[in-house]
Amino acid sequence: MSSRPIPRPAEAAPAPAVAVAPGTEVDISVPLPEREPVQARLYGQRTKGVAVPLVLHFHGGTFVCGDLDDGRNVARLLAAAGAVVLSLAYPLKPFPEPIEVGFAALEWLYKQRVKLAGKGARVYLAGEEAGGNLAAAVALMARDRAHPPLAGQILLSPMLDPCAGTLSLRKASDEDARCRWASGWQEYLSCPMNATHPYAVPGASLRLAELAPALVLVGEDDAMRDEALSFAQRLQKAGIPVTTAVLPSAAKCPDELYDPAFGDCACTETVGGHLRAFFASTVPPVPPPA
């Protein structure tokens, strides 16, 4: 299936960036072209004289709930791994509104990359659960529009299959077809036709070549485990560099990792190690001297 790009809105005048001080979390309003501003939260620090990864992050919530507080555990992990993170309060509305806002925010972030993360900063997408779907969808949009360039996509327990038929999801929902994930998909897709759109359901996209490298993390008892691993395999077959890890049940992932009630969960150190390694692996090699 070929992708059908959503019309690109006119660009707005660039807005001044907000400097990120060490260890701070700053709530800001991101101006978007021909749209209402979207709220976001900046995490992390810019290291003087050094470019650090710059990440646009989408929180989870099965498409119908969640906010900036729900995304703070993952955003803090990304920042602790050395990145500056913009966590987005995307609209909890049916497709395509969330990804249109997400792509517009990505373009804004790319324009601000030097001020926020230093000259030569690499830009990434990240998201957990429903946010992982949005991150994968925006990565497809960036490829189709040939801008902005992405260094990678970080998908944590991404929701990629609206059929809700995988073994891992059935086990997590006690074989109940009317689980919260299925209900979330129904609200997000809003009509059957959207289920065939690759931006709405990235896991069903037939063209995955030329996407940014991916890090896919799931838990052993994760409801999204099977669909995420299947997507990772398809990315690899399409020639995309993919790093995949299944965290053990003892790590309490994803339950504690994505629950704002928990500060540090058992998988924090392991996930942080994967993030740091992924950032390091996506640094372009230094060309030899002339």
R_g over Cα of the chain: 18
Structure tokens at 74: 């993952």
Q: Do strands 84-88 and 123-128 pair parallel, antiparallel, or not at all (unpaired)?
A: unpaired
Crossing angle for the helix pair 97-111 and 130-144, to the nearest 10 degrees: 60
Mean pLDDT is highest, among 65-79, 169-183, 239-253, 261-275, for: 65-79
With cut-offs at 50, 70 and 90, classify the pLDDT of residue 159. Answer: very high
- Tell me what pLDDT residue 48 has: 84
What is the Cα–Cα distance from 167 to 182, expressed in whole angstroms? 14
Name the most confidently modeled range: 172-186, 254-268, 272-286.
Answer: 272-286
Q: What is the pLDDT of residues 255-272, one digit of tens each?
A: 777 777 766 666 788 999
Give 37's contacts (C-beta < 8 A, 6+ positions apart): 29, 30, 31
Q: Which residues have C-beta within 8 Å of that of residue 217, sequence separation ≥ 6?
A: 154, 155, 156, 157, 244, 245, 247, 253, 271, 274
Pick the CATH number of 25-281 from 3.50.30.60, 3.40.50.1820, 3.30.420.40, 3.40.366.10: 3.40.50.1820
Contact 78, 43 (CB under 8 A): yes
Of the chain, the percentage scoring pLDDT greater than 70 comes to: 84
**pTM summary value:** 0.89
- CA 42 – CA 87 distance, rounded (Å): 6
Flag the least confident range among 16-25, 83-92, 258-267.
16-25
Res 284 pLDDT > 90: no
More confidently predicted of 198 and 173: 198
